[in-house]
Amino acid sequence: MASSSSMLSQRCKYALRAAVHLAGLSEQEGCARIADIAAAENIPHKFLEAILLDLRKAGLLKSVRGRDGGYRLAKPPEHVSMGDIIRVVEGTIAPIRCASRNRFEPCEDCGNPDECVIRWAMVKARDAMAEVLDRCTLAEAARRRRTLGTPLDFVI
């Protein structure tokens, strides 16, 4: 029996939950502190700190200093997709490295990637996944979360 594994790492799931949390903030709320996001999303504080820093370095988040500071999205949530977050955290959406557009690495046992039928299928899978994930915005995810009234674990 094959072991069950996930395309998304736990780190990526945390990043998505934190990003959707930020997308759900009202204009009045503005920013969210790391401790508040960690508590609301059940994410270890230290782990979340590193994730938010990576998302900030990638230009997806802004940090605001001061008493009312914290993190917020750098762009409107309608302009940030699940695909954007996944690419920052995982590096690629491709199911295998040889199918990646930006991080291509040939398989060790492959003679010619251009003729490999496994890679051919994985490139098709990558394209389909990227198309869907790039259309799933954080704004839509936040609306869906409010509508369902469930933790994001059940939505992702």
- Which tens digit of pLDDT belongs to each residue from 56-94? 999 999 998 887 789 999 999 999 999 999 999 998 888
Same domain for 93 and 69?
A: no
Same domain for 25 and 64?
A: yes
Are 34 and 21 in contact by the 8 Å Cβ rule? The answer is no
Same domain for 59 and 119?
A: no
pTM value?
A: 0.84
Is 1 within a domain? no
Count other C-beta atoms under 10 Å from residue 17's C-beta. 25
pLDDT tens string 82-130:
999 999 999 888 888 888 888 888 778 877 888 889 889 989 999 999 9
Are 113 and 76 in contact by the 8 Å Cβ rule? The answer is no
**Mean pLDDT of all residues in the chain?**
87
pLDDT at 8: 84
Are 20 and 154 in contact by the 8 Å Cβ rule? The answer is no
Q: How confident is the model at residue 33 (pLDDT cuts 50, 70, 90)?
A: very high
Are 72 and 62 in contact by the 8 Å Cβ rule? The answer is yes
Residue type present at position 13: K
Structure tokens at 102: 């930006």
Better-scored residue on pLDDT, 114 or 2: 114
Could you give the number of structural domains in the chain? 2
Residue 32's nearest CA partner among 69, 77, 78, 81 is 69
pLDDT at 151: 55
Domain that holds residue 120: 82-135
Same domain for 111 and 55?
A: no
Structure tokens at 14: 């945390």
